[in-house]
Amino acid sequence: MEHAQRLISTRGGTLILAGLAALIAGVAVFVYVHNYRQSVQQGGAPATVFVAKKMIAKGTPGELVASSHLFRAQSIRESQLSQGAVVDAAALRGMVAATDIYPGTQLTTADFVAGATTIASGLRGKERAITIPIDSAHGMIGQIHTSDHVDVYGSFNIDNETKLLLLVRNIPVLVAGKSDSNATGTNTSNITLQATASQSAKMAFAADYGKVWLVLRPPTGGNAAAPDLVTVAALTRGTTPVGGKK
C-alpha cells in the first residue's frame, strides 16, 4: 500500500498508471469491436423479405397476392432468410399458392406453383362472374367480344303486360359467346359477364323467367342512356317510359 502511494505521488508513477489504464481501455475496445464484427459476419448483411400479412389461401393467384398487398416487406439478416425466399413481387406472376400461407410466414418459391390464368384470378372484392345462356340475336353472338362492355335488359310478362327493364349497365364481357346450332336449328351460346352479386342475381332470374338482351356499348364515352323501363303503354299510347323521354 505504501509502495503504491509512493508510485502515485511521483510524476513517473502517474504516467505508468495512466499508461496501464489506456492499455486496459484499448484491449476492451478491441475485444468489443472484434465480437461485434464476428456477430455481423455470422448474421450476414441486411436483407428484405416478403412476409404474409394475412392468410393466403391455397389457389390464390400470385397477381392477386401482389395487387391486394397480402404481404409486407420486412428487413432481416441474410442468415434468417428461408430457402427460396421471395424478394421480388415479379416472381409471383403466373403463379398460384400451392398451399395455405399463414400470417407472419415468409413467402418462398416453394409456396407457389405455375398456374394458368383463370376468370377467378381477375376478380376482386365484390366482383363476381356469371354465365348466362342466350341466343344469337339477343346476345349479338359473333359481334360482342371478350373485354367489350354491355348493358343487360330483361323482358318479362308482368300482370299480363310485357315490360322491358334495364337490369345492369356497363359491365365487362369476360368470355364472349360462340355460335352453336342445336337440334332445333336455333343458334344458342353461353356468355360470361362480370358483375356484382346483386347484379348476377338479377341476370340469373331474367335468364330463367324472362328473356335477356345484351346491348353493346361504345369502347369509350358511353354515357348513361334512357329509358330504364319500356312498357306496351309507353309504345302504343304515347306515355313516357320510366327514365326516358316522350
Model confidence over 43-87: pLDDT tens digits?
457 778 899 998 998 888 888 888 888 899 888 887 788 888 888
Average pLDDT over residues 11-15: 61
Q: Would you call the peptide bond into 227 cis, given omega within 30 degrees of 0 as the criterion?
A: yes
Q: Which has the closest alpha carbon to 115: 129, 97, 100, 89? A: 97
Task: Report how many helices (DSSP H) and strands (DSSP E) the chain contains, helices first.
Answer: 5, 11
Which 3-state string (H, E, C) describes 67-78? Answer: HCCCEEEEEEEH
Residue 120 has pLDDT above 50, yes or no: yes
Q: Indicate the CATH number for domain 46-114.
A: 3.90.1210.10
Q: How far apart, in Å, do the first and last CA atoms of the chain sit?
A: 119
210 CB-near residues (< 8 Å, 6+ apart): 154, 155, 156, 157
Handedness of CA 31, 35, 36, 38 (dihedral sign): positive
Q: How many CB atoms lie within 10 A of CB 220?
A: 6
Bridge partners for 172 per DSSP: 149
CB contact at 8 A, 109 and 132: no
Read off the pLDDT of residues 170-217 as tens digits, 9 standing for 90 and up. 999 999 877 665 544 557 789 999 999 999 999 999 999 999 999 999
> What is the chain's mean pLDDT, rounded?
80
C-alpha cell at 236: 302504343
161 or 173, which is more confident: 173
